Structure 1
Amino acid sequence: MLTVIGVGLILLMATDVFHTLLYPQGAGPVCRMIMRALWLLSRQFAGRAVTVAAPVAMAAVIGAWASLSIMGWALVYLPHLPDGFVYADGIPRRGDLGEALYISMVSLSTVGYGEIVPAAPSLRLVTAAQAVTGFGLLTATVSWILQTYPALSRRRALAHELNLFRQATGAQGMSALTPGHAAALLESFARSVATVSMDLLAFNETYYFHEAQHRGSLPATLAYAQQLASEAQENTNPDLRFAGRMLHAALEDLADVLRGKFGHVGQTSSAVFQSYETRHRHRRKPGGTAS
């Protein structure tokens, strides 16, 4: 029975890692539960999104994967302790869960002290298999981190570019540019918005990251992107109208992702983006500006 439970924990860990890192549009149940729980807790106690909530949640997910693996393999070893293992001189022979956890941790980390080694060939294969999975888990977590932060950088870059565009054009808006130049910029924004949509689908955990600076916050700039798309679609220049339709379509697709994957409600994209901004709101300073 213990072996069955142990194998179940190992399979749960493997399934969660697969859906989080290898499945193109998903997140494992353990990862999704931890990320969402810490996100909600941070908003509940701090009254707003907290910058460190998502990084802490990622660390918690990695810890959960390691814990599931260690406990799962320990339960596989436990029925075979102590008779199934050879102990070095001076090492007490114990058959409790603590001993099984120690063997599991040593095997998973590939440390291999050698004072307790399996005697049966089948157990040797099991410990070797755990060492392989431990190395794979380490590689997977590093890859996860390396994949997540470029996606965050693309999102921040889009928000920053929109803010720079708003600052540069001022009250004149797109009328400060030639239609061709404005159309090229809007098409660039549309491509960036589409990329953000794909990033949210492929890396669900990036949704829970809250930007430390307001100028890098995409939720706070999507309303302005919608305004640009509407103005462009009403322009008489055909190139600018087409660029406006592209940006509008990209924003609608992003709203569908937020609605379908992250539970934002709203019949219109404007309502979805308002909900998105509310969840990721920044603290207001006394002067009325966001931090």
Structure 2
Amino acid sequence: MDFEDALWTVVGAGLILLMLADVFHTLLYPHGSGPVGRTIMRGFWLLSRRSRGRASTIAAPLAMAAVIGAWAGLAAIGWALLYLPHLPQGFVYEQGVPQRGDFAEAVYISMVTLSTVGFGEIVAAHPLLRLVAAFQAVTGFGLLTATVTWILQTYPALSRRRAVAHHLNLFKEAAGPEGVTSLDPRHAAGLLESLARNVASVSIDLLSFHETYYFREVEPRGSLPATIAYAHQLASEAQHSENPELRFAGRMLHAALNDLAEVLRGKFGHPGTTSSEVFDSYALHHRHRQPREQDKE
């Protein structure tokens, strides 16, 4: 094996390791996201902020598809570079199939193996290549099932976040301008404690499923960035209540909101020294608040 063949082998192995590391950090490591997936999701998010209307809502689903495509591309090209130095002498060709040793042939073999289609007209002859091809087939099957699981886990997290937003809107409509003071203190305390648990679930979802942050809701009714400020208002009102149960519920909700603000500040870079400032930035980024003069500076 000459220097060029060794270089292709090293580059191919590097691409495969990058893909495996990115999949591990995105799908298996709690509270993590891989560099490839994170870059793609953020890139689509930044592009979507320049679009208008409902077109911006499809950016996140497209970004997830792009991440999956990037994983498949890294795997296909990585293994193709491993096969390239051994073409065509390292493979057995079926009669009538032309023997070629170019990159396109290597990519074809890699994609057929990765997809577990296995046409069988070109098979590895060397024992080590046969082992590499088998490992690629197993990886391809695992990548397929992992991405399906990723999608199935993402949308329940989005539903939980939308449910919190709807809950806040229903509370606002039912309570009216008087807020928690219009309700029986014990009943209000129970509602706020339930809301605190739901807000805590949203914080966990944002840590575990980094990509859910980039899904934008056009309708304010189902958007947490548009409604979270009202939860902060409820927590403040409850903490000033004379009822001890309601005060405790207010402190509990306030703590849950502080945890959410810390996630938004630390994980997604929202500025602000207080939770209110972080939530204002959150709403601004999701286009549910108009920028003020200091935001433009």
TM tier, smaller = over 0.9
How much does 1:177 deviate? Answer: 1.3
- Aligned 1:63-102 pairs, distance under 5 A: 63-102=69-108
Residues in 2 aligned to 1:48 and 1:225: alpha-carbon distance in whole angstroms: 26
The Cα offsets for residues 187-222 of structure 1, whole Å up to 9 and x where unpaired, read as 001000111001100110000000142211000111
- Where 2:226 maps in the other structure, the secondary structure is coil
Length, aligned pairs only: 284
Provide closer, same or farther for how the CA distance between residues 49 and 248 of structure 1 changes in structure 2, counting only shifts above 3 A: farther
Report what 2:271 is aligned to. 265
Report what 1:123 is aligned to. 129
- Where 2:56 maps in the other structure, the secondary structure is coil
- Where 2:95 maps in the other structure, the secondary structure is coil
Residues in 2 aligned to 1:224 and 1:49: alpha-carbon distance in whole angstroms: 27
C-alpha contact 1:43 1:49 (8 A) present in aligned 2: no
The Cα offsets for residues 238-283 of structure 1, whole Å up to 9 and x where unpaired, read as 0000000000000011000000000000111101000000010159
Residues in 1 aligned to 2:263 and 2:253: alpha-carbon distance in whole angstroms: 15
Q: Is 1:279 aligned to 2:273, yes or no?
A: no
Report what 1:250 is aligned to. 256
The equivalent position to 1:134 in structure 2, one of 131, 140, 143, is 140
How much does 1:47 deviate? Answer: 8.7
Partner AA of 1:193 in structure 2: V
% identity of equivalent residues: 73
Compare 60-69 and 174-183 and name the one that shifted more: 174-183
Provide closer, same or farther for how the CA distance between residues 148 and 6 of structure 1 changes in structure 2, counting only shifts above 3 A: same
C-alpha contact 1:108 1:133 (8 A) present in aligned 2: yes
Q: Is 1:40 aligned to 2:46, yes or no?
A: yes
TM-score (norm. length: structure 2): 0.93
- Aligned 1:102-251 pairs, distance under 5 A: 102-251=108-257
How much does 1:175 deviate? Answer: 2.3
Provide closer, same or farther for how the CA distance between residues 60 and 283 of structure 1 changes in structure 2, counting only shifts above 3 A: farther
How large is the Cα RMSD of the aligned pairs? 1.4
TM-score (norm. length: structure 1): 0.95
Report what 1:22 is aligned to. 28
C-alpha contact 1:84 1:119 (8 A) present in aligned 2: yes
Partner AA of 2:225 in structure 1: P
How much does 1:148 deviate? Answer: 0.5
Instruction: List, as ranges, runs of 4+ consecutive aligned residues in structure 1 with deviation greater than 2 Å.
Output: 44-49
Provide closer, same or farther for how the CA distance between residues 182 and 283 of structure 1 changes in structure 2, counting only shifts above 3 A: closer
How much does 1:171 deviate? Answer: 2.2
Partner AA of 2:269 in structure 1: G
Residues in 1 aligned to 2:246 and 2:153: alpha-carbon distance in whole angstroms: 35
- Where 2:92 maps in the other structure, the secondary structure is strand
Partner AA of 1:160 in structure 2: H
- Where 1:117 maps in the other structure, the secondary structure is strand
Report what 2:13 is aligned to. 7
C-alpha contact 1:42 1:48 (8 A) present in aligned 2: no
C-alpha contact 1:49 1:282 (8 A) present in aligned 2: no
The equivalent position to 2:66 in structure 1, one of 51, 60, 66, is 60
Residues in 2 aligned to 1:46 and 1:222: alpha-carbon distance in whole angstroms: 23
- Where 2:221 maps in the other structure, the secondary structure is helix
Residues in 1 aligned to 2:164 and 2:277: alpha-carbon distance in whole angstroms: 21
Report what 1:288 is aligned to. none
